[in-house]
């Protein structure tokens, strides 16, 4: 949509190779505009310093951990570099509370912070049936990144203890090798509950199979226990207009509205109750509410992307 050239340098947390290659790229190519996608602090600082010397414009799409670190690693890699965020031309935030947090924590002027929601994924018409040997219309899908903010063990236990588990299956996607410890906990839960046919860990799925799964499923669990985060799985649920079940953070309450029926907390029994309500007796009402919310979020996403294109055009004209 933005027609930007991608420059990607994977590296370890010291970022020595990434720093060197970024310096060479920006110094030799001399771009007019640089779009930083989820940069860690050192690379943000490098780009800002080079922008002053080489006179290019910088747009920073910052991740939640940059502003709101929840681990020692995130704090060390990001907190000392907050000041550099004030040196960019535009900062992108992906939900209302994150935008306010950026302004408050980094003192970036409000006019430099732009709220941009994720684009709604384009689901291809041609998809492929995954080899899961289940009725996909009875699947409750958790699109997992296997990150620390996804309590998959809690979700699995609550699902298995709910009435929903009698005739539905919990399908957890994603690369479980990202968290072998969490994978081990899930395997023990599944074995203890004798639930191999009720909780399925797919591992990596090709896009055409994954899209078929979410197009056909009963509902999607789209959640992050981190505040200031609006999970991408919400936008996937919006794309296929499926009911999505999500955690009751202030971010989600603000973005979805307190009238959305499928919130839960991390208290024991909360998700169980929500599953029984939203997938059981009230499914028809929930399905209607989800479709209405999908239309609302699609409009918000499209409008915010149009605003981004306009802002980038104006920034380039000032270059």
pLDDT tens, the chain, 319 aa long: 677 888 888 777 778 888 899 999 999 988 999 999 988 899 999 999 999 999 999 999 988 888 888 788 888 888 999 999 999 999 999 999 999 999 999 999 999 999 999 999 999 989 999 999 999 999 999 999 999 899 999 999 999 999 999 999 999 999 999 999 999 999 999 999 999 999 999 999 999 999 999 999 999 999 999 999 999 999 999 999 999 999 999 999 999 999 999 999 999 999 999 999 999 878 999 999 999 999 999 999 999 999 999 999 898 887 6
Q: Do residues 286 and 235 share a domain? A: yes
- Whether 193 is in a domain gets the answer yes
Q: Please check whether residues 106 and 141 belong to one and the same domain.
A: no
Whether residues 194 and 233 fall in one domain: yes
Q: What is the pLDDT of residue 40?
A: 86
Burial class of residue 71 (count of CB atoms within 10 Å of its CB; 0-12, 13-18, 19+): exposed
- The CA distance from 220 to 96, in Å, is 23
Domain identity same for 102 and 198:
no
pLDDT of residue 250: 97
Does residue 315 belong to any structural domain of this protein? no
Q: How far apart are the first and last CA of the chain?
A: 21
Residues 6+ positions from 155 with CB-CB distance below 8 Å: 142, 170, 172, 221, 271
Q: Are residues 206 and 271 in the same domain?
A: yes
**pLDDT score, position 319:** 66
Instruction: Output the pLDDT for position 1.
Output: 67
Residues 109 and 154 in one domain: no
How far, CA to CA in Å, does 57 sit from each of 3, 97, 114, 201? 16, 26, 15, 44
Are residues 166 and 41 part of one domain?
A: no
- How many domains does one find in the chain? 2
Any residues with CB less than 8 A from the CB of 107 and at least 6 apart, and which? Answer: 86
This prediction's pTM: 0.91
Q: Is residue 79 part of a domain?
A: yes
Q: Can you tell me the distance from the alpha carbon of 161 to that of 182, in angstroms, rounded to the nearest whole number? A: 19
Whether 152 and 274 share a structural domain: yes
Residue 13 near residue 77, CB atoms below 8 Å: yes
CATH code of residue 90: 3.40.50.2000
Say if 40 falls within a structural domain: yes
The residue assigned the tokens 């080899």 is: 131
**Residue 211, domain member (yes or no):** yes
Give me the pLDDT at residue 51, please: 94
pLDDT digits (tens, 9 = 90+) for 255-273: 999 999 999 999 999 999 9
Same-domain status, 219 and 92: no
Same domain, 100 and 59: yes
**Residue 127: per-residue pLDDT:** 95
Whether 181 and 289 map to the same domain: the answer is yes
- Quote the domain boundaries for residue 261: 136-299
- DSSP-derived secondary structure for 120-172: PP---S-----S--S-GGGEEEE-----TT--HHHHHHHHHTSGGGGT-EEEE
Q: Do 148 and 82 share a domain, yes or no?
A: no
pLDDT score, position 49: 95
**For residue 2, is it within any domain?**
no
Residue 278 lies in a domain: yes
Any domain includes 313: no
- Closest among 217, 228, 107, 227 to 172, alpha carbons compared: 217
């Amino acid at each position: 949509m933005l027609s930007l050239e991608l420059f990607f340098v994977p590296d370890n947390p010291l970022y020595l190779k990434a720093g060197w290659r970024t310096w060479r790229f920006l110094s030799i190519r001399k771009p007019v505009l640089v779009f930083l996608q989820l940069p860690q602090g050192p690379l943000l600082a490098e780009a800002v310093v080079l922008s002053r010397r080489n006179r290019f414009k910088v747009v920073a799409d910052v991740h939640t951990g940059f502003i709101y670190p929840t681990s020692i690693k995130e704090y060390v890699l990001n907190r000392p570099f907050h000041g550099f965020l004030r040196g960019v031309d535009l900062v992108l935030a992906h939900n209302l509370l994150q935008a306010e947090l950026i302004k408050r924590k980094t003192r970036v002027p409000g006019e430099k912070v732009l709220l941009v929601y994720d684009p709604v994924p384009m689901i291809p018409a041609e998809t492929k049936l995954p080899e899961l040997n289940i009725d996909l219309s009875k699947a409750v899908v958790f699109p997992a990144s296997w990150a620390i903010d996804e309590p998959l063990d809690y979700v699995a236990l609550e699902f298995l203890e709910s009435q929903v588990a009698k005739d539905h299956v919990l399908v957890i996607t994603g690369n479980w090798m990202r968290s072998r410890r969490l994978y081990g906990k899930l395997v023990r839960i599944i074995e203890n509950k004798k639930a191999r046919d009720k909780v399925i860990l797919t591992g990596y799925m090709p896009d055409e199979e994954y899209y078929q799964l979410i197009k056909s499923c009963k509902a999607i669990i789209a959640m992050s226990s981190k505040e200031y985060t609006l999970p991408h799985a919400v936008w996937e649920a919006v794309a296929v207009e499926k009911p999505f079940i999500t955690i009751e953070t202030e971010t989600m309450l603000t973005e979805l509205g307190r009238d959305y029926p499928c919130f839960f907390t991390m208290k024991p029994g909360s998700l169980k109750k929500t599953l029984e309500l939203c997938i059981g007796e009230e499914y028809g009402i929930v399905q209607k509410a989800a479709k209405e919310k999908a239309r609302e979020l699609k409009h918000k996403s499209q409008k915010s992307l149009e605003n981004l294109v306009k802002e980038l055009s104006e920034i380039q004209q000032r270059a």
